[in-house]
């Protein structure tokens, strides 16, 4: 159901082309800052969303914040600029070890120059995780195996599922000393954006859920990670459609669940459950879920049709 919704929204977004250049440029800038902030914050970067913007676009130094956090923000933004350049090419580049290492080199350029873009040469342990990454000597073979898997599965899997699985397999190998998560989230977006989706952002507020999803994937259960990735993609599609739908067409207004609940048969708590389960079209803004009256109506219609068929 979630995959079907995403496909329908992507189709609607594509039907709006050619998209207004100025609006798309502003959305890209917004998403670049959001992605940089959230991806770095997941790894412990202390800059806020606003501070990330000021560091990248105003060149400011934030008092009391580590130099490393500033450098990480600038490096990640440069990596995103490179990613957009790759995605914007007419040709469809094959994902490669070289491309992944290039992304890592850009992400770690100013904070770990010695190992930026280079596979680790010794073993590592991930604090707080049960998974022990492969021996350093196995990394070249594991990465080649990953590339073969990708070439085969890109023919069979939905792009969102492919992106989620690739993301996990890359962090599972843990080919670099540091920056594996940031590199994996960028690599995931090459797959998504080449398939026409906007940048998919795993939110810092979902950090606990994200790590739990990766742990489940370690055990071979990819369901939670795929759903989390799909919800990130749907959030981006909702924002793009809300911004780019012409004013002559009816736009759905996204409101907090507490505002929606008074206009529907459901409590805010139940709507929150439906949103988390992926049964209701909704996306997060900070810690809060947003949805529309029309989305709730569609959920009710689907439930009624299913009840009549049962």
Separation CA 246–CA 204 (nearest Å): 31
Distances (CA, A) of 156 to 35, 148, 166: 28, 13, 13
Q: Which of 98, 298, 58 lies closest to 190 in space, CA to CA? A: 98
Assess whether 174 carries a catalytic annotation.
yes
Side-chain half-sphere of 124: how many Cα atoms within 13 Å? Answer: 20
Residue whose structure tokens are 């398939």: 195
Separation CA 76–CA 206 (nearest Å): 20
For residues 254 and 291, is the Cβ–Cβ distance under 8 A? yes
Token digits for 157?
């899997």
- Catalytic member of 76, 77, 167, 174: 174
Number of neighbouring beta carbons within 10 Å of residue 53? 20
DSSP label of 94: P
Number of neighbouring beta carbons within 10 Å of residue 59? 9
Q: Which of 55, 95, 38 lies closest to 210 in space, CA to CA? A: 38
Report the b/e string of 92-115 with b at 16+ CB within 10 A.
eeebeeebbbbbbbbbbbbbbeeb
Distances (CA, A) of 163 to 76, 141, 187, 193, 222: 19, 21, 8, 10, 12
- ∠ CA 84-90-96, rounded to 5°: 65
Scanning 201-256, the segments in alpha helix (DSSP H) are 207-218, 223-244
Tell me which residues are annotated as active site. 174
């Amino acid at each position: 159901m979630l995959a079907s919704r995403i496909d329908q929204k992507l189709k609607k977004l594509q039907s709006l082309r050619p998209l207004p250049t100025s609006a798309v440029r502003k959305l890209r800038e917004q998403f670049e800052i959001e992605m940089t902030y959230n991806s770095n914050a997941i790894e412990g970067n202390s800059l806020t969303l606003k501070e990330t913007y000021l560091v990248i676009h105003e060149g400011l130094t934030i008092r009391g914040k580590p130099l490393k956090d500033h450098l990480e923000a600038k490096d990640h933004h440069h990596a995103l600029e490179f990613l957009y350049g790759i995605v914007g090419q007419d040709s469809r580049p094959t994902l490669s070890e070289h491309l992944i290492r290039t992304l890592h080199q850009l992400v770690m350029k100013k904070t770990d120059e010695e190992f930026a873009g280079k596979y680790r040469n010794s073993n590592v342990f991930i604090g707080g995780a049960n998974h022990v990454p492969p021996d350093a000597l196995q990394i070249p073979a594991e990465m080649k195996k990953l590339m073969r898997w990708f070439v085969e599965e890109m023919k069979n899997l939905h792009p969102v599922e492919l992106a989620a699985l690739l993301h996990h397999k890359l962090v599972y190998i843990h080919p670099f000393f540091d920056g594996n998560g940031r590199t994996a989230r960028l690599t995931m977006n090459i797959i998504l954006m080449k398939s026409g989706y906007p940048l998919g952002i795993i939110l810092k507020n979902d950090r606990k859920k994200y790590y739990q999803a990766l742990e489940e994937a370690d055990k071979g259960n990819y369901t939670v990670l795929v759903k989390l990735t799909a919800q990130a993609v749907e959030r981006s599609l909702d924002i793009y459609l809300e911004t780019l739908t012409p004013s002559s067409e009816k736009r759905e207004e996204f409101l907090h669940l507490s505002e929606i609940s008074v206009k529907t048969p459901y409590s805010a708590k139940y709507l929150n459950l439906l949103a988390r389960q992926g049964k209701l079209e909704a996306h997060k803004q900070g810690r809060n879920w947003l949805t529309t009256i029309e989305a709730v109506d569609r959920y009710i219609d689907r439930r009624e049709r299913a009840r009549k068929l049962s």
